């Protein structure tokens, strides 16, 4: 039998965890490889995670080797090849941004240290819990023995939304669309960029007008999370889980010449300060994310990329000032 791969999911008792775990158990991340699942929760979410573990057992997934529920990050991350950091501290009423960053620093710093202590050499980390980019930066800073490029944050949901909204506007299947980019922070400042996108091989910018792009498309994609909450009554869950699967699947198996969007550590490309975890156009080649090089950036795009990156710089300064980096 093939050696099982160990995958940890934090916040496993939450709604994204519930949508995510069954897809991992069915082999959608690593393919035909047995999976050992580790579910990390805090005391308040433990019973929900235990219940999910029972249901995972009832799924009788041929590839599911085992499921363990724990409140201890070191046990959860011991030997993991993939860690999906979903659990985070949400903003409560009256909470300032600095308080939110500090509360999450208290989660992602120790989780980074626990990954550093015990993760497998090939570990890949995807941070979903918000503020995702900066939480990933904090975790990475506490894991000096794990290469920084193994820490990523999720903007794939934003990317998928950007592709789907363009497809809906033009009445084409999503498979007709290529070259969409989401830049910057996973927040309302993100920039969904169609300047390099194609639709059945034709430039998307020839098919949509600038007014729609600036006044409808960009705000709709950037604020889609709020739209889902308004309609559904709770935040995106299955689509977020699906995007997490897409991100890790592509990281492991490659993007086959196409590109997608992911928040990865900046090497200074496109004027994004080195070390920030920012969303870029990326390809996955030989199990590594590569930032797509050499794209022309027009003035409209430059302003929007700079605004979102400025927000990331401010978050980094805030967590530095709090001693979290």
Enumerate binding residues for ligand NAX (CB under 6 A).
Answer: 10-11, 13-17, 40-42, 44-45, 48, 86-90, 107, 128-130, 132, 154, 157, 186, 225, 235-237, 240
Which string of b and e fits 189-219 if b means at least 16 CB within 10 Å? bbbbbbbbbbbeeeebbebbeeeebeeebbe
252 touches 157 (CB < 8 A): no
Task: Quote the least distance from Cβ 85 to ligand NAX, whole Å.
Answer: 8
DSSP code, position 268: S
The sheet with strand 177-178 has its strands ordered as 177-178, 198-199, 202-203
Q: Phi first, then psi: give them for residue 217, nearest 5 degrees.
A: -65, -55
Q: Which is nearer to ligand NAX, 13 or 112 (CB)?
A: 13
Q: Which of 40/291 has CB closer to ligand NAX? A: 40
Q: What SS3 class is residue 297?
A: coil
DSSP secondary structure string for all residues of 231-250: HHSS---HHHHHHHHHHHHH
Tell the smallest beta-carbon distance from residue 7 to ligand NAX (Å).
15
C-alpha pair distances (Å), 315 with each of 87, 115, 226, 273, 305: 19, 23, 21, 13, 16
Q: Does residue 186 have an active-site annotation?
A: yes
Q: Which is nearer to ligand NAX, 30 or 77 (CB)?
A: 77
Between 186 and 304, whose beta carbon lies closer to ligand NAX? 186
d(CA 240, CA 187): 14
d(CA 271, CA 283): 19
Q: Choose, from 65, 142, 159, 186, the residue flagged as catalytic.
A: 186
Minimum gap (Å) between residue 292 Cβ and ligand NAX: 21
Question: Minimum CB separation from ligand NAX for residue 1, in Å?
Answer: 30
Q: Is the dihedral of CA 25, 31, 33, 38 positive or negative?
A: negative
Q: Which is nearer to ligand NAX, 199 or 324 (CB)?
A: 324
For the CB of residue 30, give the shortest distance to ligand NAX in the complex, in Å: 21
- Where are the strands (E) in 106-180, listed by range? 124-127, 151-153, 177-178
CB atoms inside a 10 Å sphere around CB 239: 18
CB of 71 to ligand NAX, least distance (A): 8
Q: How far is the CB of 112 from ligand NAX (least distance, A)?
A: 12
Name the residue nearer to ligand NAX (CB basis): 67 or 240.
240
Residue (10 or 284) nearer to ligand NAX, CB: 10
Beta strand extents in the chain (DSSP E only): 5-10, 35-40, 64-70, 82-85, 124-127, 151-153, 177-178, 181-183, 191-193, 198-199, 202-203, 260-265, 277-285, 288-291
Residue 56 corresponds to which tokens in the numbers above? 């995972």
Positions marked catalytic:
186
């Amino acid at each position: 039998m093939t050696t099982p791969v160990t995958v940890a999911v934090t916040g496993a008792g939450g709604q994204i965890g519930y949508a995510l775990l069954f897809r991992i158990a069915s082999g959608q991340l690593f393919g035909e490889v047995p999976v050992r699942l580790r579910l990390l929760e805090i005391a308040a979410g433990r019973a929900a995670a235990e219940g999910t573990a029972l249901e995972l057992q009832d799924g009788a997934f041929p590839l599911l080797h085992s499921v363990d529920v724990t409140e201890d990050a070191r046990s959860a991350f011991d030997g993991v090849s993939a860690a999906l950091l979903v659990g985070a501290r949400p903003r409560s009423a009256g909470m300032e941004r600095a308080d939110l960053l500090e509360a999450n620093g208290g989660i992602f710093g120790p989780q980074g240290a626990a990954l550093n202590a015990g993760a497998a050499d090939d570990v890949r980390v995807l941070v979903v819990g918000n503020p995702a980019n900066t939480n990933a930066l904090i975790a990475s800073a506490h894991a000096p023995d794990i290469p920084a490029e193994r820490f990523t944050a999720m903007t794939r949901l934003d990317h998928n939304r950007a592709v789907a909204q363009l497809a809906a506007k033009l009445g084409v299947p999503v498979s007709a669309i290529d070259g969409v980019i989401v830049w910057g922070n996973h927040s309302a400042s993100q920039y969904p960029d169609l300047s390099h996108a194609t639709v059945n091989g034709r430039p998307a910018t020839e098919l949509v007008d600038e007014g729609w792009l600036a006044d409808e498309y960009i705000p709709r994609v950037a604020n889609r999370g709020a739209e889902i909450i308004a309609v559904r009554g709770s935040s995106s869950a299955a689509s977020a889980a699906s995007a997490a699967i897409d991100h890790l699947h592509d990281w492991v198996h490659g993007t086959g010449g196409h590109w997608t969007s992911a928040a990865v550590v900046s090497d200074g490309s496109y004027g994004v300060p080195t070390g920030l975890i920012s969303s870029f156009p990326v390809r996955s080649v030989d199990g590594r994310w590569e930032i797509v090089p050499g794209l022309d950036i027009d003035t409209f795009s430059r302003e929007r990329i700079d605004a979102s990156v400025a927000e990331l710089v401010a978050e980094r300064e805030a967590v530095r000032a709090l001693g979290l980096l």
